[in-house]
């Protein structure tokens, strides 16, 4: 629904009402349309300047988006038709960042440059106040703003009509089409033309989505025809599963495989990996990205179950106690505990593979304690070179207990062969259990002779794949840090911890809690006690310089109660820079 523009008051009445609103005086609210009045109030809350436009600038906006590709031909056509008129055609992303602007009229073009309605600038309502772009996106509906209805004074000679563009399947707003002209030339046709153009772009998006999905579907069918295995195809809007996937995988396994496939979408490269599934199956996956004439279309995963069928059938009961010294009942974590516990009991040498800090060593120790309490557990660190051979011989020489070969993948190829020889010579019997920890995705590159000694493997899930275990990990780790019954988390703080991606896994959570216990020794941990990294949602591990910068921005934003301009000022940064960095670091602080 769009509010009628027939109810527009005369420019003078509107100008007076705006002046009075800005001076917080009594004014004739009947002369201002409801949507505009609501937007003026929001603009005031955002403390937008009413006498000029200063808005964030992004130097290199992403111009490779599907929306821009779909809109190109439509914008070219409209630009041709409007070539004799003083009308500017603007396309923004869903955050009101201007991606494209076409203006044939030189005077209008100069004016728009002056008010920063140009590529790379944001026209979000929180920066510019009431305007056809930001206000339409805020209300998620077609909106025209005429003359003095604009919040910022120097937009009052303009009229603009913005129409959100939606994804044909998900309905998600992808961006916005705006037409801007001089106020004196504007009429109801402006909004009608903007709506028709946005509709044409949506039709193009539909065609292109169709092309992408057709490419994905063809790749999926090719993979299905190639064999009897499990095949899944995914993109951000769509999931396809073949019959084998439905018959061989229980729903939890399907969900775990899909989660892996969706993560792989970001990489756009072929990948092969093995993973344990919640049901007890172990699967070997190969992921192939699919592209189409109009860009990336998604990816196809082919999977093969490696585990014996009877083992697959043995489901893990998540109510069973986990191993000693570790906590968590999330399906994938429980699966890893179950497998490694069984391998330790059966003395089957094992590789524990997983991301840094995910708990590989903790699991190895726990499995050792469960299987052979009282016997020694020797951990031999293989990263960083050094005299590992003597330590390995000494550990094996005890002839019982467990030996953890930590960071086995850090050993150069030649030394991996040397280790295989040491293990051959040792002629160990079933009293010794060996377990090696390796980084995610590195198992395949290990020396084949060495791998003969490690016939089984376990994937240790990253914390984000059993995030529910944060609830159990927090009290457990606090107790380890000596604060057991003294400290606990408030629901708000726990919520923040549960929302984090934890690229550094449990080790990162432990580090965070260690920081917290330095400042709060007893009582309740509140959100403000948590360090800045808990306010961000970022999927990669930041380097030290990036972490420092992120922390400084989070602190400045907290000090400024979420006000980005004040935070930017305090840090001596431009608003454009802080705006970009907030996006890059996934910082989430409500104003
Ligand atoms: N489920 C768990 N329950 C209790 N503590 C855990 C759990 N998972 C991990 N931890 C703790 O998290 C920290 C990191 O775990 P650990 O050292 O085992 O990780 P890792 O995968 O071996 O790391 P890296 O590959 O970096 O050496 C340790 O303090 C460990 O005790």
pLDDT in tens, 443-487: 989 999 999 999 999 999 999 888 989 999 999 999 999 877 788
What separation in Å is there between the alpha carbon of 357 and the centre of ligand 1?
A: 5
- CA 445: distance to chain centroid? 29
My answer on whether 495 and 426 are in the same domain is no
CATH number at residue 283: 3.30.450.20
My answer on whether 356 and 391 are in the same domain is yes
CATH number at residue 379: 3.40.50.300
In a domain, 331, yes or no: yes
My answer on whether 189 and 241 are in the same domain is no
Interface TM-score (ipTM) > 0.90:
yes
Average pLDDT over residues 233-255: 84
What separation in Å is there between the alpha carbon of 321 and the centre of ligand 1?
A: 18
pLDDT tier for residue 254 given thresholds of 50, 70 and 90: confident
My answer on whether 199 and 64 are in the same domain is yes
In a domain, 310, yes or no: no
Is residue 36 classed exposed, middle or buried when 0-12, 13-18 and 19+ CB atoms within 10 A define those classes?
buried
Average pLDDT over residues 74-90: 95
Rounded to two decimals, the pTM is 0.63
CATH number at residue 194: 3.30.450.40
Our count of domains for the chain comes to 4
pLDDT tier for residue 3 given thresholds of 50, 70 and 90: low
Contact 551, 559 (CB under 8 A): no
Q: Is the pLDDT of residue 566 over 60?
A: yes
The 10 Å Cβ neighbour count of residue 364 is: 29
pLDDT tier for residue 429 given thresholds of 50, 70 and 90: confident
What separation in Å is there between the alpha carbon of 359 and the centre of ligand 1?
A: 3
Q: What is the pLDDT of residue 77?
A: 95
pLDDT tier for residue 199 given thresholds of 50, 70 and 90: very high
My answer on whether 344 and 240 are in the same domain is no
In a domain, 3, yes or no: no
Domain that holds residue 125: 11-208
Q: Which of 271, 305, 339 is the last residue of a domain?
A: 305
Considering only 184-193, 274-283, 442-451, 517-526, which range has the smallest mean pLDDT? 274-283
Q: What element of type H or E holds 458?
A: strand 456-460
In a domain, 222, yes or no: no
My answer on whether 203 and 103 are in the same domain is yes
In a domain, 41, yes or no: yes
pLDDT tier for residue 439 given thresholds of 50, 70 and 90: very high
- CA 33: distance to chain centroid? 39
My answer on whether 389 and 495 are in the same domain is no
| CA 580/CA 538 separation, integer angstroms | 14
In a domain, 104, yes or no: yes
In a domain, 217, yes or no: no
Q: Is the pLDDT of residue 571 over 80?
A: yes
Q: Cα dihedral sign for 588, 581, 179, 211? A: negative
What separation in Å is there between the alpha carbon of 454 and the centre of ligand 1?
A: 21
The 10 Å Cβ neighbour count of residue 98 is: 25
The 10 Å Cβ neighbour count of residue 249 is: 24
Give the pair of three-digit tokens for residue 381: 């660190």
My answer on whether 455 and 501 are in the same domain is no
CA-proximal residue: ligand 1, atom 3 (nearest): 326
In a domain, 580, yes or no: yes
Q: In DSSP terms, which residues pair with 352 in a beta bridge?
A: 437, 458
Contact 401, 378 (CB under 8 A): yes
My answer on whether 77 and 198 are in the same domain is yes
Contact 506, 359 (CB under 8 A): yes
CA-proximal residue: ligand 1, atom 16 (nearest): 359
Q: Which of 146, 175, 208 is the last residue of a domain?
A: 208
Residue 476 Cα: closest atom of ligand 1: 4
My answer on whether 457 and 477 are in the same domain is no
CATH number at residue 573: 1.10.8.60
My answer on whether 111 and 189 are in the same domain is yes
DSSP 506: H
My answer on whether 18 and 116 are in the same domain is yes
Q: Which of 412, 431, 461 is the last residue of a domain?
A: 461
pLDDT tier for residue 109 given thresholds of 50, 70 and 90: very high
Best residue among 338, 354, 362, 382 to mutate for probing ligand 1, ranked by most atoms within 8 Å of CB:
362
CA-proximal residue: ligand 1, atom 26 (nearest): 356
Short-list 580, 575, 548, 551, CA closest to 564: 575
């Amino acid at each position: 629904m769009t509010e009628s523009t027939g109810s527009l008051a005369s420019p003078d009445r509107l100008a007076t009402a705006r002046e009075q609103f800005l001076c917080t005086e009594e004014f004739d609210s009947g002369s201002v349309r409801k949507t505009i009045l609501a937007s003026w109030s929001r603009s005031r809350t955002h403390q937008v300047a009413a006498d000029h436009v200063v808005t964030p600038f992004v130097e290199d906006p992403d111009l490779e988006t599907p929306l821009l590709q779909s809109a190109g031909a439509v914008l070219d056509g409209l630009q041709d038709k409007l070539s004799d008129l003083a009308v500017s055609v603007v396309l923004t992303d869903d955050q009101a960042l201007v991606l494209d602007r076409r203006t044939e009229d030189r005077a209008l073009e100069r004016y728009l440059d002056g008010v920063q309605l140009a590529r790379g600038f944001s026209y979000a309502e929180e920066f510019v106040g009431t305007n056809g772009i930001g206000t339409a996106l805020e209300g998620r509906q077609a909106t025209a703003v005429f003359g003095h209805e604009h919040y910022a004074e120097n937009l009052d000679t303009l009229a603009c009509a913005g129409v959100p563009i939606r994804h044909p399947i998900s309905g998600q707003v992808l961006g916005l089409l705006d037409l801007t002209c001089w106020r004196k030339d504007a009429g109801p046709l402006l909004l009608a033309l903007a709506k028709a153009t946005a509709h044409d772009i949506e039709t193009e998006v539909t065609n292109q989505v169709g092309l992408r999905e057709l490419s994905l579907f063809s790749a999926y069918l090719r993979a299905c025809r190639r064999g009897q295995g499990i095949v899944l195809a995914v993109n951000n809007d769509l999931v396809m599963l073949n019959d084998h996937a439905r018959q061989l995988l229980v729903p939890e396994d399907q969900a775990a495989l899909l989660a892996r496939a969706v993560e792989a979408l970001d990489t756009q490269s072929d990948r092969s990996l093995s993973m344990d599934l919640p049901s007890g199956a172990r699967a070997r996956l190969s992921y192939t990205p699919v592209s189409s004439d109009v860009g990336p279309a998604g990816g196809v995963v082919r999977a093969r179950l490696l585990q014996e069928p009877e083992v697959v059938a043995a489901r893990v009961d998540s109510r069973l106690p986990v191993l000693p010294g570790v906590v968590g009942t999330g399906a994938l974590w429980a699966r890893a505990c179950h497998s490694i516990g069984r391998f330790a009991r059966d003395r089957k040498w094992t590789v524990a593979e997983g991301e840094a800090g995910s708990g590989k060593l903790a699991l190895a120790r726990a499995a050792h304690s469960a299987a052979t309490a009282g016997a020694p557990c020797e951990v031999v660190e293989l990263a960083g070179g050094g005299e590992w051979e003597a330590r390995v011989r000494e550990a094996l020489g005890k002839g019982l207990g467990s030996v953890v070969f930590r960071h086995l993948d850090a050993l150069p190829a030649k030394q991996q062969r040397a280790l295989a020889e040491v293990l051959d010579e040792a002629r160990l019997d079933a009293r010794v259990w060996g377990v090696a920890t390796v980084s995610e995705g590195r198992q395949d590159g290990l020396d084949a002779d060495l791998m003969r000694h490690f016939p089984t493997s376990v994937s240790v899930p990253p914390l984000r794949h059993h995030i529910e275990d944060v609830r159990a990990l927090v009290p457990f780790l606090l107790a380890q840090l000596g604060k057991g019954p003294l400290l606990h988390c408030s629901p708000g703080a726990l919520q923040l911890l549960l929302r984090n991606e934890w690229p550094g896994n449990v080790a990162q959570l432990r580090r965070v809690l260690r920081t917290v216990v330095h400042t709060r020794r007893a009582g309740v941990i509140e959100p403000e006690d948590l360090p800045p990294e808990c306010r961000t949602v970022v999927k990669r591990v930041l380097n030290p310089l990036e972490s420092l910068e992120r922390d400084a921005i989070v602190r400045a934003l907290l000090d400024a109660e979420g006000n980005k301009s004040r935070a930017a000022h305090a840090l001596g940064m431009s608003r454009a820079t802080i705006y970009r960095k907030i996006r890059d670091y996934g910082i989430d602080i409500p104003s």
